[in-house]
Structure 1
Amino acid sequence: MIDPTNSTAPARDPQEPTTHNSAMYANPAAIFASCGKPYVEFRRRHDTAVIDYLTHQCPSPTARILDLGCGPGTLALDLAERGMHITGVDASQEMLDEGRTWAEQRGVSEAVEWRRADATTVGQHDRLGTFDGAVIADAFHWLDRQQVLTALDKVVRPGGFVAVVGYRAPETQREWWHPLLVKLREKHLGAADLAGPSTPYIRPQVGHEAMVRASPFNRVSVLRADYQREYTLDELVGLQRTFAYSSAATLGERQEAFEADLRSTLSAVQPSGLFATTLQAAVIVGRRPESR
């Protein structure tokens, strides 16, 4: 439910998504426990091509946009800096609190409203109003996607859009160091994919684009854009604290040993301490058919 006080891929991927509301999990707010501050510090912002593409979907520079599974505002604040008015929705109070602080630091507090809620319930609350578009960035896989798209049909205005954003397009190459991280997580946590401490990850069986095409927003366009990423050793180690399957809350007393092992392994394969790769982002935009 909406908090009346108005108070964020799968575990096999070391940079797989963000965030955090879903009727699929008994306690969605706990999935990203302990990840708030590391998320702001170590998660990279989306590539400019992604922000440009989303901006071009909007009917005006001051469009009203709903960000579901917003986390601390990784995408929301970039859109706010473009002039949009954002309502960020997340199940995690920790993420929302970090988002407020980050918005103040970036000078966009007035442009962002933060709401604690389950993403599947947004169509049930008239006080949220209607939106020119909705974005779900690195979060769709955590949600009951069909329920979310049904809910969005109630709050996205005629002519509006839904955009599913991913830092890595499906079936594209992962970071070259990904297999090393998988082996280390299995060594310290076992082979099970986790959605936070002790909670099994529910892996989607159908791709995001297919889900959007089966929804009311079935007029689909897709952007794929290559971009480069480079991390220092410290950044790459810190990044692991932002994932539900390797967060401080999930690792518990094993965190120190995991990170020491991670540093040793990565330093051995890349003595320079710099880790660079080329990735491909994806933005799936769905609109209702024009005849509707």
Structure 2
Amino acid sequence: MTTRSPDSDEALFGTGSAAAYARYRPGVPDAAVRLLAASLHGVPAPVLLDLGTGTAQVPRALLPVVPRLAHVDLVDVNPEMLARATADLAPLLGTSTAAAHLGQAHTFVPQLPHRRPDLVTCCRAFHWMDRPAVLRMADRVAAPHAVLAVMGDGSLWTHEAEWTAALRELVRSHLGPGRRAGTGGAYTEPVRPYEEELADSAFSEVSEHRFPLTRAWTPESAVGYLRSTSFARPGLFTGRHEEFEAQALRLLAGYAQGGVLREDAVFTVLLARRPRSTS
């Protein structure tokens, strides 16, 4: 695997978060993986481009299901995440190849012209990106038949339950009323729905696929998850992180039933394609 090194940005997740990300972040649901695999039907040696790869959850889920993947491009702005993605993906590659690209998603350029992606994925990261520029880049580099998949299921910050509401208030008591976005200030919601942004792009044929799921957290795993987030990573607490985690564990233990905290979520996949020719 090779690595290119343009400018990087660690303001959102900082250093030291990759291990927590790999251990505590929920993976891609099996039903969503099957949907992505089906989008590659008939492509003999597909190429995958995974934007905002984190610890390579998407390619790690896809490779066992689509072992004929010929090549995987991993793109992320965080060098620690990208190094972890490279290491975790390597044992699964078999005869496939992979390349890691350090930089913003919209700056991606394939290293070899024949490696045009057949599937472009972005899981739980599209909101951080220059989305119009990313979509223009995808149109430049992707194969004519390519599918673009934007996926996500919110976070424990957005999930509505008694225990997550109490956890949000605890985070706010330490970090202020707004949702933090790493060291860069407050998080700002995208102005336009992703469906509209996709519809205005070259990938204007959009279908939505929703997969309800239930997750079981423990107080310890929920607190571990927070270490991987932009809104509650340890570096934001200026020396009070141990105090915060102790408070969070006590708080969540009071809500856990049989040691379990329930999250009912919906994992949404937007599949987008270029319009099919009518000629």
TM-score normalised to the size of structure 2?
Answer: 0.88
Equivalent residue, structure 1, for 2:78:
92
Q: CA deviation at 1:197?
A: 2.3
Mapped pair 1:203 → 2:189: yes
Equivalent residue, structure 1, for 2:11:
30
Structure 2: state its 5+ residue gaps: none
User: Is the contact between residue 8 and residue 78 of structure 2 (CA under 8 Å) also seen in structure 1?
Assistant: no
User: Is the contact between residue 80 and residue 112 of structure 1 (CA under 8 Å) also seen in structure 2?
Assistant: no
Q: CA deviation at 1:168?
A: 4.3
Equivalent residue, structure 1, for 2:153:
167
User: Is the contact between residue 176 and residue 277 of structure 1 (CA under 8 Å) also seen in structure 2?
Assistant: no
- Pairing partner for 1:107 from 68, 92, 100: 92
Distance 1:222 1:249 in 2: 36
Distance 1:176 1:286 in 2: 35
User: Is the contact between residue 138 and residue 165 of structure 1 (CA under 8 Å) also seen in structure 2?
Assistant: yes
Deviations 1:131-163, CA, capped at 9 Å, x for gaps: 112000000000011111011100111111110
User: Is the contact between residue 80 and residue 86 of structure 1 (CA under 8 Å) also seen in structure 2?
Assistant: no
Equivalent residue, structure 2, for 1:69:
52
How many residue pairs are counted as aligned between the two chains? 268
Give the number of the structure with larger relative contact order, counting CA–CA contacts within 8 Å between residues 6 or more apart: 1
Gap change, CA 1:249 and 1:136, over 3 Å in 2: same
Distance 2:257 2:63 in 1: 39
User: C-alpha root-mean-square deviation of aligned residues, in Å?
Assistant: 2.4
Equivalent residue, structure 2, for 1:78:
61
Distance 2:58 2:208 in 1: 18
Q: CA deviation at 1:248?
A: 1.4
Equivalent residue, structure 2, for 1:220:
206
- Identical-pair percentage: 27
Distance 2:108 2:266 in 1: 30
Mapped pair 1:47 → 2:29: yes
Distance 1:114 1:287 in 2: 25
User: Is the contact between residue 197 and residue 251 of structure 1 (CA under 8 Å) also seen in structure 2?
Assistant: no
User: Is the contact between residue 8 and residue 103 of structure 2 (CA under 8 Å) also seen in structure 1?
Assistant: no
- Written as runs of structure 1 = structure 2, the 5 A alignment for 1:271-286 is 272-286=258-272
Deviations 1:100-158, CA, capped at 9 Å, x for gaps: 22224x533754322112111125x5646411120000000000111110111001111
User: Is the contact between residue 182 and residue 230 of structure 2 (CA under 8 Å) also seen in structure 1?
Assistant: yes
**SS of aligned partner of 1:96:** helix
Deviations 1:230-272, CA, capped at 9 Å, x for gaps: 1122111101111011011222312111111111111122253
Structure 1 residue identity aligned to 2:263: T
Distance 2:44 2:218 in 1: 36
Distance 1:76 1:174 in 2: 29
User: Is the contact between residue 79 and residue 86 of structure 1 (CA under 8 Å) also seen in structure 2?
Assistant: no
Deviations 1:74-104, CA, capped at 9 Å, x for gaps: 1121112222232110111100111122224
Distance 1:54 1:177 in 2: 33
Distance 2:259 2:97 in 1: 38
User: Is the contact between residue 60 and residue 92 of structure 2 (CA under 8 Å) also seen in structure 1?
Assistant: no
Structure 1: state its 5+ residue gaps: 8-20
Equivalent residue, structure 1, for 2:255:
269
Q: CA deviation at 1:173?
A: 6.0
Equivalent residue, structure 1, for 2:136:
150
**SS of aligned partner of 2:263:** strand
Q: CA deviation at 1:5?
A: 4.5
**SS of aligned partner of 1:29:** coil
User: Which sits farther off after the overlay, 245-254 or 142-151?
Assistant: 245-254
Structure 2 residue identity aligned to 1:116: L
Distance 2:111 2:98 in 1: 18
Gap change, CA 1:161 and 1:62, over 3 Å in 2: same
